[in-house]
């Protein structure tokens, strides 16, 4: 263990890609990225003239900024921790954050989902008004004038929020007293130019990634979609570490601001793409797990991080966009649907909504795999939900050569005797293994007899070798083929991480089935939502025992169903009511106090 | 006119005291203040060691900061225009603003009024709740838990604004789930410690001065009161010049911020005085003229500055205090009562409310004299209101030796033959003349035959002299007696300013009486509200013709009735309804388009 050579190496964590690499002291961050197979833009070849390999120090110590850096970056940037990767040399174990623009190829994000046609049932009504201008014989205030005109049209007078009041007088005059008003729940929330329809934004705020959809509310059409990493990753990979960070000085504020900035960036990009003004966006629906929901709205998360893990708020929440710093129409509102529990959030409600769970009569399981996996079983009119701490293994963390689903990640594996067939994202030379790849690997290793039912590697297999600590490891990619010239291996510890993750999920499913008093074979449908779920090989999930052995035809991989549910709630008041009903109907099962959980979990550890 | 010596003098305007002085080039600002009789603190005698004579440059050019100043002031202060008066030498005509702490004696502010007992009819209800804490068998969200407990107590579930949501979880746990909630219109707006009653703040936002009252809402008792100058004065003395300034870049924002800062300062001081936490203040009622109302709330004022002068909003407005940067309880609300018209604001509604105008059956005039004078006539169940542009003469502006009601201002004058008796504020040596003094002077000069009915000075009077431009002027105080060693005089132009002001007010009264079809002798009561009105000598107002010749016993000087009305609306929902009713009942008469106005106005110019 006490290897004297280890003193001269330094560990580098790279976010948001989730790559960990050990480098020799004295190497630059750019060299570290190259060694890890993370493709930073470095047009100038590392001479410091292109300033494109911008990174941000999250923790650890770097060499002082060079003259090249003080020339290329301003004081604010340097104070905020920005550096050029080709210049900065780590002096200690270091974590850096790589902004999206510094990558040559973007990380794969799941923003598509199976879109169901939803009848418009608008939250926002528009009304076109021709208003009498003021004169010395008609001295009514501007707002009185607007409301009187609404009443003349047979409508109710409306409240006007302060944000719009500060601009309404100007808008009325700019439009020569002929305007289109956007009405919402008895309020006038925007004064649009009369040829413009109101727009909406659906947001899926994941722990790892964000997805956004720009929708024309008049017709329900999606104008543009976009995704990005959740930049909070710089402050912690999973929900628990972010809750912990939120407890530090200004931590909650930092997490909120960084997220809000990213959402503003997304909406800005979407509007540019669709060539529309951001001031036309009048309504947002945002879904996320309960912690993301709370951090987005600025709510406290401390109580989410300690037993009994209760949310501050579980009912739907209506916010003014400007209250939390989201730049849209001045009076724009944000609707946050119900949460179910501390670890079953509005994103899961959106998944259930988008898949009509609870409306159909069948027996259905729906789950969304992540660091936490939320599972719901619909059976005989009941909805049972739970949350499993499945850990970050499927996102590539805690796996020796794990990584997120970025270019070069191995996502499919077939073992054919001693030959190993790989498929990588974007067909790049292999860098590491992402979640679907590691599950494939385990499944194939079981079939090939490399792995036994306990999760032990068969040391007799020609593909298994013994390392210096006398531990068995499986060589998936030899150094001659990998992008970085090192072996890509799967260790006993990696297998154990997968065992824990898949056992947690399986145990969650089993507990729900047990509570409902049905067997898995009675399930009509098994819905797998979310980015990771989309790329899974169902046969591997069954072979590893993560999912029950149903016929493959009963499985349905639905992509970003949470985003689709958010879009439905953006255009339909009825869908919002349905979501409230779904959330209210759910019986939440707390697994950690369920008497059978530990037995089932331990049994599910075997393959 | 082209006096070569004049090149070597410089004009200095001093705000908020409204003193104008001409100094020799090369003099310091401290010397200018001393010459003008404005008492700046200068403990060190002007050597620059005490740093107490802090002033702020508003416009004009000063000598560069001296080493003394760069040592005493930080960079931000110097960039914001702060200087030491003993160091800075004006290089051009200059306007400076003197912060309250730099005066030896404060300006006189009217914060008292005749207080009527008002029955409590609370806007804020409190309820003490003992809430079941969460457990693994009771996972309800914090807000659900609170609302369930309200329902158990037979109350309606309540909305919770975001500002409180961000803190509620912590407050509930800090109070060990036993808390006092403040409820307002179906919302929980504060979570108080269980021994604390909710507090309220009544604000009277005048163009010149601010008055604030801290009230215990549980008992309706005033805990503390305070006043200060409206610091917006630095950007313009009257409403019109501020509306103009609001149109400049960031002008509206600057005017709002400067006012909000002053209100925060007032509430901070009141809470210190009463030894209570600002977070206990849950409700504010703020009244002011329509422009102050709009600038306080951040509403546009451009349309107030051009015909037909309509408000953006005239209905009552409920704001969240934090929306406009007022620091109180997180969910605290601000109630802004109705405005009547662009130049008859909520402060006048508050005056009418505090004096039961519109409820009693008598014929009553109520007016509040300022740069604009708002007048209401109640007669036979009708309420008629108008606004007169009476100008700033009564606030000491545009008068040769005019000043605001600060120490040394002449406020009472009796002329007895050739002897002149003076009374100054705080019995200080005379510096200039404030509004009540100038009106007294005119009245006495008429009686003494120094002034004729046209407003011309009698050149034969021994007290009248002819200046170098061959203009007659009345020497009120010879240089031997005045604080600054210069004569205090009243010019023909000063008399004209007073003629215009008093004629505007009288014409307004006459038009209202004419519209109601009654004569002035039929008036039962004549109510004079506001700071200036309190210090007026009623006999002088009648002698000059500003007010009609009623018996003095029918006049009632009620002090800051606007503030009293605001306090009533703070503790009584019924009074708020009354105020809405009053504002709705008023027929507003626009004088500028009234066919008889000009005739009556011109006739009223005579004494």
Give DSSP secondary structure letters for A32-49: HHHHHT--B--TTSSSSS
Check: complex ipTM more than 0.95: no
- What tokens were used for A24? 């020799």
Question: Rounded distance, CA B106 to CA B404, Å?
Answer: 12
CB atoms within 10 A of CB B114: 14
Give the CA distances from residue A291 to residues A310, A311, A524, B541, in Å, rounded to whole numbers and listed in that order.
10, 8, 32, 69
Question: Rounded distance, CA B216 to CA B200, Å?
Answer: 6
Q: Are B390 and B370 in contact, with CB atoms under 8 Å apart?
A: yes
Residue with tokens 């108008």: B386
In three-state secondary structure terms, B351 is: helix
Residue B93 scores a pLDDT above 70: yes
Among A141, A160, A339, beta carbon nearest to B310: A141
B250 vs B105, higher pLDDT: B250
pLDDT for the residue numbered A256? 97
| pLDDT tens digits for range A24-37 | 999 999 889 888 87
Among A315, A341, A588, beta carbon nearest to B143: A315
For residue B590, the chain A residue with the least C-alpha distance is: A136
Residue B238 scores a pLDDT above 70: yes
Comparing A482-486, B338-342, B438-442, which segment has the lowest mean pLDDT?
A: A482-486
Question: Rounded distance, CA A198 to CA A219, Å?
Answer: 10
Task: Report which secondary-structure segment, H or E, holds A398.
Answer: none
Task: Report which secondary-structure segment, H or E, holds A597.
Answer: helix A597-604
Q: Are B421 and B573 in contact, with CB atoms under 8 Å apart?
A: no
Q: DSSP states of B119-160 as a string?
A: --B-SSEEEEEE-PPPBTTB---HHHHHHHHHHHTTPPP-B-
- The answer to whether A165 contacts B299, with C-beta atoms less than 8 Å apart, is yes
From the list A344, A363, A365, A356, the residue with the least C-alpha distance to A548 is A365
* CB proximity list for B358: less than 8 A, separation 6 or greater: B352, B378, B383, B581, B582, B585
Order of strands, edge to edge, in the sheet holding A419-424? Answer: A419-424, A409-416, A432-433
Q: How far apart are the first and last CA of chain B?
A: 32
From the list A418, A396, A416, the residue with the least C-alpha distance to A405 is A396
Residue A56 DSSP class: E
- What tokens were used for B566? 């605001």
Q: Determine if the peptide bond prior to B28 is cis (ω within 30°).
A: no
Give the CA distances from residue A137 to residues A133, A242, A305, B303, B588, in Å, rounded to whole numbers and listed in that order.
11, 61, 63, 16, 11
Task: Report which secondary-structure segment, H or E, holds A96.
Answer: strand A94-97
- The answer to whether B341 contacts A135, with C-beta atoms less than 8 Å apart, is no
Q: Are A68 and A51 in contact, with CB atoms under 8 Å apart?
A: no
Residue with tokens 């005033």: B222
Mean pLDDT (chain A, rounded):
90
Residue A24 pairs with which residues in a beta bridge? A9
- What tokens were used for B319? 């704001």
From the list A589, A563, A427, A402, the residue with the least C-alpha distance to A509 is A589
In three-state secondary structure terms, B73 is: coil
For residue A164, the chain B residue with the least C-alpha distance is: B299
- The answer to whether A170 contacts B138, with C-beta atoms less than 8 Å apart, is no
pLDDT for the residue numbered A358? 80
* CB proximity list for B1: less than 8 A, separation 6 or greater: none
| pLDDT tens digits for range B335-368 | 999 999 999 999 999 999 999 998 878 899 999 9
Q: Are B18 and B403 in contact, with CB atoms under 8 Å apart?
A: yes
Provide, as residue numbers in chain B, all residues whose Cβ is less than 8 Å from the Cβ of A167.
300
Provide, as residue numbers in chain B, all residues whose Cβ is less than 8 Å from the Cβ of A311.
141-142
pLDDT band at A17 (very low <50, low <70, confident <90, very high): confident
Comparing A101-115, B200-214, B371-385, B508-522, which segment has the lowest mean pLDDT?
A: A101-115
Question: Rounded distance, CA A37 to CA A428, Å?
Answer: 10
pLDDT for the residue numbered A2? 42
Sort strands A364-368 and A333-336 into parallel, antiparallel or unpaired: unpaired
Mean pLDDT of B51-74: 88
CA distance A93 to chain B (A): 36
B48 vs A350, higher pLDDT: A350
CA distance A50 to chain B (A): 36
* CB proximity list for A3: less than 8 A, separation 6 or greater: none
Q: Are B311 and B339 in contact, with CB atoms under 8 Å apart?
A: yes
Question: Rounded distance, CA B247 to CA A169, Å?
Answer: 14
For residue A312, the chain B residue with the least C-alpha distance is: B142
Alpha helices, DSSP H, located in B448-556 = 492-516, 531-535, 538-543
Q: Secondary structure of A107-123 in the HEC alphabet? A: CCCCCCECCCCCCCECC
Provide, as residue numbers in chain B, all residues whose Cβ is less than 8 Å from the Cβ of A308.
134-136, 138-139
pLDDT for the residue numbered B16? 76
Residue A215 scores a pLDDT above 70: yes
Q: Are A205 and A111 in contact, with CB atoms under 8 Å apart?
A: no
Torsional sign, CA B509, B510, B514, B520: positive
Helix axis angle for A290-297 and A239-246, nearest 10°, is 30
Residue B343 pairs with which residues in a beta bridge? none
Mean pLDDT of B152-176: 95
Alpha helices, DSSP H, located in B175-289 = 239-246, 251-274
- The answer to whether A165 contacts B309, with C-beta atoms less than 8 Å apart, is no
Residue A230 scores a pLDDT above 60: yes
- The answer to whether A308 contacts B166, with C-beta atoms less than 8 Å apart, is no
Residue B153 buriedness (CB in 10 A; 0-12 / 13-18 / 19+)? exposed
* b/e B448-457 (16+ beta carbons within 10 angstroms → b): bebbeeebeb
CB atoms within 10 A of CB B80: 11
pLDDT band at B406 (very low <50, low <70, confident <90, very high): confident
CA distance B159 to chain A (A): 10
Question: Rounded distance, CA B331 to CA B165, Å?
Answer: 9
Provide, as residue numbers in chain B, all residues whose Cβ is less than 8 Å from the Cβ of A168.
312
Mean pLDDT of A549-566: 92
For residue B312, the chain A residue with the least C-alpha distance is: A142
Which of B135, B169, B333, B339 to substitute to test the interface with A, most A CBs within 10 Å?
Answer: B169
Residue A488 DSSP class: E
pLDDT band at A1 (very low <50, low <70, confident <90, very high): very low
pLDDT for the residue numbered B113? 62
Question: Rounded distance, CA B327 to CA B265, Å?
Answer: 10
Question: Rounded distance, CA B388 to CA B376, Å?
Answer: 11
- The answer to whether A135 contacts B593, with C-beta atoms less than 8 Å apart, is no
Mean pLDDT of B431-446: 93
- What tokens were used for B484? 């600054």
pLDDT for the residue numbered B395? 77
Q: Secondary structure of B544-573 in the HEC alphabet? A: CCCCCCCCHHHEEECECHHHHHHHHHHHEH
Question: Rounded distance, CA A298 to CA A253, Å?
Answer: 7
From the list B570, B456, B526, B474, the residue with the least C-alpha distance to B223 is B570
* CB proximity list for A158: less than 8 A, separation 6 or greater: A147, A150, A181, A183, A186, A187, A188
For residue A161, the chain B residue with the least C-alpha distance is: B319
State the pTM of this model: 0.83
Question: Rounded distance, CA A444 to CA A231, Å?
Answer: 35
For residue A584, the chain B residue with the least C-alpha distance is: B140
| pLDDT tens digits for range B542-588 | 999 999 999 999 999 988 899 999 999 999 999 999 999 999 999 99
pLDDT for the residue numbered A6? 46
Q: Determine if the peptide bond prior to A576 is cis (ω within 30°).
A: no
pLDDT for the residue numbered A104? 62
CA atoms within 13 A on the CB side of A283: 30
Q: Are A297 and A319 in contact, with CB atoms under 8 Å apart?
A: yes
Question: Rounded distance, CA A560 to CA A211, Å?
Answer: 9
Comparing A228-237, A471-480, B97-106, B393-402, which segment has the lowest mean pLDDT?
A: B97-106
Farthest CA pair distance, chain B:
99
């Amino acid at each position: 263990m006490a290897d004297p050579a280890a003193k001269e190496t330094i560990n580098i964590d790279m976010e948001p890609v989730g790559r960990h690499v050990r480098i020799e002291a004295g190497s630059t961050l750019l060299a570290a990225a190259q060694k890890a197979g993370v493709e930073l833009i470095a047009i100038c070849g590392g001479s410091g003239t292109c300033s494109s390999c911008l990174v941000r120090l999250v923790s650890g110590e770097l060499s002082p900024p060079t003259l090249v850096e003080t020339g290329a970056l301003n004081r604010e940037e340097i104070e905020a921790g920005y550096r050029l990767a080709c210049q900065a040399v780590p002096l200690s174990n270091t974590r850096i954050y790589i902004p999206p623009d510094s990558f040559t190829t973007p990380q794969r994000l799941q923003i598509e989902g199976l879109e169901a046609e939803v009848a418009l049932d608008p939250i926002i009504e528009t009304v076109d008004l021709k208003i009498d201008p003021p004169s010395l014989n008609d001295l009514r205030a501007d707002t009185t004038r607007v409301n009187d005109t609404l009443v003349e049209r047979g409508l109710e007078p409306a409240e006007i929020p302060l944000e719009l009041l500060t601009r309404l007088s100007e808008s009325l005059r700019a439009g020569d007293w002929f305007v289109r008003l956007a009405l919402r729940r008895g309020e006038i929330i925007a004064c649009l130019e009369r040829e413009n329809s109101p727009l909406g934004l659906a947001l899926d705020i994941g722990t790892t990634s964000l997805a956004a959809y720009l929708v024309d509310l008049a017709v329900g059409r999606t104008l543009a979609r976009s995704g990005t990493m959740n930049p909070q990753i710089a402050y912690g990979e999973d929900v628990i570490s972010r809750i912990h960070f939120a407890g530090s000085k200004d931590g909650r504020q930092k997490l909120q601001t960084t997220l809000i900035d990213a959402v503003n960036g997304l909406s800005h990009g979407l509007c540019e793409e669709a060539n529309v003004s951001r001031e036309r966006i009048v309504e947002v629906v945002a879904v996320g797990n309960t912690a993301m929901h709370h951090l987005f709205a600025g709510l406290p998360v401390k109580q989410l991080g300690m037993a009994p893990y209760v949310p501050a708020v579980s009912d739907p929440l209506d916010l003014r966009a400007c209250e939390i710093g989201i730049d849209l129409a001045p009076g724009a509102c944000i609707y946050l649907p119900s949460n179910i529990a501390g670890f079953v959030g509005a994103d899961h409600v959106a998944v259930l909504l988008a898949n009509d769970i609870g409306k159909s009569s069948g027996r259905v399981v729906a789950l969304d795999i992540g660091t936490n996996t939320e599972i719901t079983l619909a059976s005989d009119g009941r909805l049972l939900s739970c949350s499993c701490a499945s850990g970050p293994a499927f996102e590539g963390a805690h796996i020796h050569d794990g990584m997120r689903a970025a270019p070069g990640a191995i996502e499919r594996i077939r073992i054919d005797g001693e030959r190993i067939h790989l498929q990588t994202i974007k067909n790049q030379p292999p860098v590491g293994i992402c979640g679907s790849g590691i599950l494939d690997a385990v499944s194939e290793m079981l079939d090939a007899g490399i792995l036994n039912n306990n999760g032990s590697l068969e040391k007799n297999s020609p593909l298994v070798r013994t390392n210096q600590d006398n531990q068995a490891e499986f060589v998936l990619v030899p150094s001659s083929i990998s992008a970085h010239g090192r072996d890509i291996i799967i260790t006993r510890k990696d297998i154990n991480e997968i065992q824990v993750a898949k056992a947690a999920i399986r145990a969650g499913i089993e507990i729900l089935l047990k509570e409902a008093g049905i067997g898995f074979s009675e399930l009509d449908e098994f819905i797998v939502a979310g980015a990771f779920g989309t790329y899974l090989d169902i046969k591997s999930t069954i072979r590893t025992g993560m999912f029950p052995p149903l016929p493959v035809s009963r499985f349905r991989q639905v992509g970003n169903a949470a985003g689709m549910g958010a879009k439905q709630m953006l255009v339909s008041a009825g869908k919002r009511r349905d979501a409230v009903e779904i959330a209210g109907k759910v019986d939440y099962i707390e697994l950690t106090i369920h008497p059978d959980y530990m037995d089932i979990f331990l049994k599910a550890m075997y393959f």
